[in-house]
Amino acid sequence: MDETRMDETEVLNRPEDAGVGGGPKPGGKTPKVVVRPRDKAQRDILAAVAKARETGAVSPELSDGDVAGIVTPVIDALYDAYEEDGTAPTRDAFAERCVSEDVGNVVLTMGSDPFVARRPGRRAVAAICAGCALALAVACGGVALSLSPGGDPSGGEAEGAPGAAVADGGVDTEAVEEAAEEASRAESAAQTGQDGGSVTSTGGAASPSGGSTSSSSGSSSSISSAGSTGGSSSTSSSSSGSGSSSSSSATHTHNWVAQTTTVHHDAVYKTVHHDATYTTVHHDAVTEDRTICNNCGADITGNVDAHMKANILNGCGSYSIKTVVVQAAWDEQVLASAAWDEQVLVSAAWDETVTTGYKCSECGATK
């Protein structure tokens, strides 16, 4: 980096109150250091953090909303303090207040201080001068065309002539500032790439070995002014558009696409036990006819004569036939079906889609 540039993070007070380092330079002159607008500082910090997320310096899981929620409160606090007591915002102050150490480190290591307005270098001044000269040439051409036989003799511009779009009030200072910042970025990039090759900024090429810088393709604004005596001023600020497109291309928003896999689940069964079943079979009582001695009551079935001869003297001389129950009636349990177990379906087999992670469809990053 150019050693003649001041360390922009050293500015602690308003530029109108103190010089760099807290005191005026030798000779009593106070260097003019301008604090950048709040929205521009915030824009550059958000762009730097977005780029750091892509390289892994900051967790890619932080969304744009998360980053804005971290950066915005710190920016507001620093600029509120600047407006209240003149304490200029610095990168160190941002890092101390920031709740995320990674985001604070990104701001500390940014190529240029986001809080201090960039002073145009020699190349930037040359680009602006070239743009002004080109604008003046275009304006003169428009005037010459209007005075030609085919032009408007009243002094107005012919339809379709260069410089037809004009703005009253002279040069657009904001566009000039934007052009200066853009050219300053190109100069910083050229200083960084001195060890090899050339660095091409938005529309212009910068080479450390004496290459040329193109100011008419977007590196600087084309500003034309025809004076205050009835002339017109035309401002073409193509660098502003180039800067915004460059910022938008540097800030990449991940498009997370879910990555899935299919998990198969088998059918689920439960066992239902069925007991054995029986039927009841009834058996009637079993009876037999028996010969019973009328005297002693003995069962003399098949032995009547012998009993009578042996016991005639005891009074056993007669008998009778009686029906006797040999086996009482009874019920029998007969097996109808044996016990068995049944597998009953609880839930059928099914496939489940499970999310395993996310992948950016544009850059391939995963989380």
- What single string gives the DSSP state of each residue in 33-69? --BPPHHHHHHHHHHHHHHHHHHTSS-TT--HHHHHH
Decide if pLDDT at 3 tops 50: no
Average pLDDT, stretch 228-255?
53
Decide if pLDDT at 219 tops 80: no
Decide if pLDDT at 8 tops 80: no
* Cα Dmax for the chain: 184
Q: Please say whether the beta carbons of 221 and 238 come within 8 A.
A: yes
More confident residue, 78 or 147: 78
Q: At a CB cut-off of 8 Å and minimum separation 6, what does 333 contact?
A: 278, 279, 280, 281
Residue 353: CB atoms within 10 A of its CB come to 9
Residues of 304-337 as b/e, b for ≥16 C-beta within 10 angstroms?
eeebbeebeeeebeebeeeeeeeeeeeeeeeeee
Provide the token pair at 27: 């000779």
Residues 358 and 77: their CA atoms lie apart, in Å, by 36
Query: How many angstroms separate the first and last alpha carbons of the chain?
Result: 36
DSSP state of 253: P
Decide if pLDDT at 18 tops 60: no
Assessment of whether the complete model's pTM goes beyond 0.85: no
Provide the token pair at 286: 């079993």
Q: Identify the pLDDT of residue 121.
A: 62
Decide if pLDDT at 64 tops 60: yes
Distance from chain centroid for Cα 194: 37
Q: Which candidate, 204, 231, 234, places its Cα nearest to that of 222? A: 234
Q: Identify the pLDDT of residue 189.
A: 54
Residues 358 and 255: their CA atoms lie apart, in Å, by 9
User: What is the per-residue pLDDT across 102-125, written as a single tens digit (0 to 9) for each?
Assistant: 999 999 999 889 999 876 667 766
Average pLDDT, stretch 84-100?
93
Q: Identify the pLDDT of residue 120.
A: 63
Decide if pLDDT at 209 tops 70: no
Residues 75 and 93: their CA atoms lie apart, in Å, by 10
Average pLDDT, stretch 17-29?
44
Q: Identify the pLDDT of residue 282.
A: 95
More confident residue, 317 or 213: 317
Q: Identify the pLDDT of residue 185.
A: 66
Q: Please say whether the beta carbons of 57 and 106 come within 8 A.
A: yes
Average pLDDT, stretch 283-306?
91
Q: Identify the pLDDT of residue 49.
A: 93
Decide if pLDDT at 199 tops 70: no
Residues 124 and 117: their CA atoms lie apart, in Å, by 14
Q: Identify the pLDDT of residue 107.
A: 94
Helix, strand, coil percent content, the chain, rounded in steps of 5? 35, 25, 40
Q: Please say whether the beta carbons of 316 and 296 come within 8 A.
A: yes
Residues of 26-44 as b/e, b for ≥16 C-beta within 10 angstroms?
eeeeeeebebbebeebbbb
Q: Please say whether the beta carbons of 326 and 286 come within 8 A.
A: yes
User: What is the per-residue pLDDT across 38-57, written as a single tens digit (0 to 9) for each?
Assistant: 999 999 999 999 999 999 98
Mean pLDDT of the chain: 74
- For 180, how many CA atoms within 13 A lie in the half-sphere containing its CB? 14
